[in-house]
Amino acid sequence: MKETRFLVARELRATGSGKEKRIEGYACTWNNQTDIGQFDEIISPKPFSSLDTDSVVMNFNHDDSMLLGRAGVNLKLEQDEVGLRFDCTLNDSTIARDVYENIQSGILSECSFAFTVKPDGEVWSAQPNGRMLRTLKNLQLWDASIVTVPAYAGTSAQARNVVAADIQQRMADANLTAETAARRAKAQAILNDHEAWKANQVSAEMADIERLRTRRDNLFN
């Protein structure tokens, strides 16, 4: 199932002129923890296993009828140390001209990307505050879009319906596993403490017996 994430685009700008108009920036960045509402999420560096297929496109507002670019044609995608960088050379379509002008004038300043998580592409872990953390490690990118919708921040993501039922179930399963592991660790710690106490008791009793033997030997020698 495809998921989407919204953000204020980093270094989004309209460059070039004439027939070489381009838009460039970052569709997403790594290691920035985000509150998705029901859990926190972070993207590990360079999680996209393939970016050079023609199935990866750049749209406006994730609308396939408002195509701006396609990987391998006029859209370049690169995973650097900061995030997923894009460089799209625009054609002379109406939507391309409008997006270019709106970025240049500051009306558009946000990006979104659509992805699916590959098998074993996520890791769930419990944080000290009790919230679950979802770490994305292996993703398939489908669409990097310039968007008009506001970026979500904090718990505003709760109103966006971004968490599908299967993700909620995976989170619940991971949370149950973490809670079970925590209970087992606590029980094991109690057992270990008890075993240590018993060992100390035995040592103390043996020491008492040895002292009594020494006293007896001293009395009869």
pLDDT in tens, 125-158: 989 998 899 999 999 999 999 998 755 443 333 4
If you average pLDDT over every residue of the chain, what do you get? 83
Higher pLDDT pick, 153 / 22 = 22
Residue 180: is its pLDDT beyond 50?
Answer: yes
pLDDT in tens, 185-200: 777 777 787 787 887 8
Question: Which stretches does DSSP call E strand in the chain?
Answer: 3-8, 10-15, 22-29, 34-35, 40-43, 57-60, 63-70, 75-79, 83-89, 110-117, 122-126, 132-136, 139-147
- At residue 9, the pLDDT reads 62
- At residue 172, the pLDDT reads 67
Q: Confirm if 97 and 18 have CB atoms less than 8 A apart.
A: no
Q: Confirm if 124 and 171 have CB atoms less than 8 A apart.
A: yes
Q: Are strands 10-15 and 3-8 parallel, antiparallel or unpaired?
A: unpaired
pLDDT in tens, 32-42: 898 887 889 99
Q: Is the dihedral of CA 208, 214, 217, 221 positive or negative?
A: negative
Residue 8 to residue 110: CA distance in whole angstroms: 4
Mean pLDDT of 153-174: 56
- At residue 1, the pLDDT reads 75
Residue of 11, 25, 5, 7 lying closest to 88 (CA atoms): 25
Phi, psi of 69 (to 5 degrees): -165, 165
Q: Is the dihedral of CA 120, 46, 153, 56 positive or negative?
A: negative
Which whole-number Å values give the CA distances from 147 to 52, 59, 109, in the listed order?
22, 9, 8
Question: Binning pLDDT at 50, 70 and 90, where does residue 161 land?
Answer: very low
Give pTM, 2 decimals. 0.69
Higher pLDDT pick, 166 / 103 = 103
Residue 103 CA to chain centroid, in angstroms? 27
